[in-house]
Chain A
């Protein structure tokens, strides 16, 4: 499986395992938004540590996930952006501010806890 999606309490954690095609990115977006709605998740983590390229399409998709999930009551944090990828991303002409980011899964969960006022231990 190219993406593993797990639920942890009120949160959804999507771990991207390898380079994704555009169609797979779109499918992931649909899947996450559907699950957020279905399970009334309050937070989403998207782990992109396995991606060594994040281009404007993927960046836009991530921002879109964040914006739409927010409308459904969930905050999104992207984790695992590598230094070289971060530098590439700032060259795009996209507004990346809807995207919240954290260093890794732990930091991401802590950030969600702060944002949602909840606790990751809620099961």
Chain B
């Protein structure tokens, strides 16, 4: 969501700069073998990317070098962004951290800058102009790579957070078309919403026709919780699945009804065992009379 824009003119805005940039890029391409090697050596010397083998480092270095020079040439960082995200996706699971990624990018910046110094050291004026063309572009590249890496890391972290949340309340598939959602602990609005989303997603991916929601383990069942359950049952119905609530004692059910919660559309069974039997019946695993079937609207 955050976009980073570097202040200052884009590289090669002026016609004269165009020539300079072109010369600079040509130089970097010509010197590719040597500079790439130099960069790889300095990466190893600085003990960066230690999780990767030499040949892995070399092949990354090659791809990165080419992307870097290309970004310098075109002034566009899009391809570089794609490469950076792709690289991040590969190295993050291997434990490479932000400081390493920034480190290697800055090393390349340094290697290339020094090479420019060496080439133009006898022409001070030219050197200045070349550096003027190079530096803003090189800075922008470093920032792009760093930001891409961080964004990728954050995306991974968020994914993990969701996975952890879902683990705390697994939706279990016990047989075809039948899911069980055992809820344990406090059920506040946030958790209820997350559970509903999780359940509906599971109904979709498992093509469930019946879900058994067991609330035996829910600490407090009040009007708010009951209303969330009613909504979840109804939403499941809209996705073609009948829901059975188990673990709701008739005493509590009566209290809820007295408090104005409409439980009329909810199938409730005292215990999980009974709920599963009812589920089997709904799924038609016991031969049903045609009359019975007509009385049970599928998905209702």
Binary contact readout A100-123 vs B (1 if CB under 8 angstroms, 0 otherwise): 111100011011001101000000
* Chain B: number of interface residues, binned into ranges: 20 to 34
Instruction: Give residues in A with beta carbon < 8 Å to B.
Output: 77-79, 81-84, 86-87, 89-91, 96-97, 99-103, 107-108, 110-111, 114-115, 117
Instruction: Report 23 cross-chain contacts, Cβ distance below 8 Å, ordered by A residue.
Output: A77-B299, A78-B238, A83-B197, A83-B201, A83-B203, A87-B200, A87-B231, A89-B235, A90-B231, A91-B231, A100-B300, A101-B239, A101-B240, A102-B298, A103-B203, A103-B204, A103-B239, A107-B207, A107-B240, A110-B298, A111-B240, A111-B298, A114-B293
Chain B residues in 8 Å Cβ range of A117: 290, 294
Binary contact readout B226-239 vs A (1 if CB under 8 angstroms, 0 otherwise): 00000100111111
| A100–B238 CA distance with the chains assembled, in angstroms | 7
Check if B265 is an interface residue, CB within 8 A of chain A. yes
Check if B224 is an interface residue, CB within 8 A of chain A. no
Q: How far is the CB of B187 from chain A (nearest CB, A)?
A: 16
| A87–B197 CA distance with the chains assembled, in angstroms | 8
| A78–B300 CA distance with the chains assembled, in angstroms | 12
Q: Which one, B196, B209, B297, contacts A100 given CB within 8 A?
A: B297
Q: Is the CB of A103 within 8 A of B298?
A: no
Q: How far is the CB of A54 from chain B (nearest CB, A)?
A: 9
Residue of B nearest to A111 (CB): B298
Q: How many A-B residue pairs have CB under 8 A?
A: 70
Chain A residues in 8 Å Cβ range of B238: 78, 81, 86, 89-90, 96, 99, 101
Give me the 10 closest cross-chain CB pairs, A-B, nearest first. Answer: A83-B200, A102-B240, A103-B240, A111-B298, A86-B238, A86-B235, A90-B231, A90-B234, A101-B238, A81-B238
Instruction: Give residues in B with beta carbon < 8 Å to A.
Output: 196-197, 200-201, 203-204, 207, 209, 231, 234-241, 265, 290, 293-294, 297-300
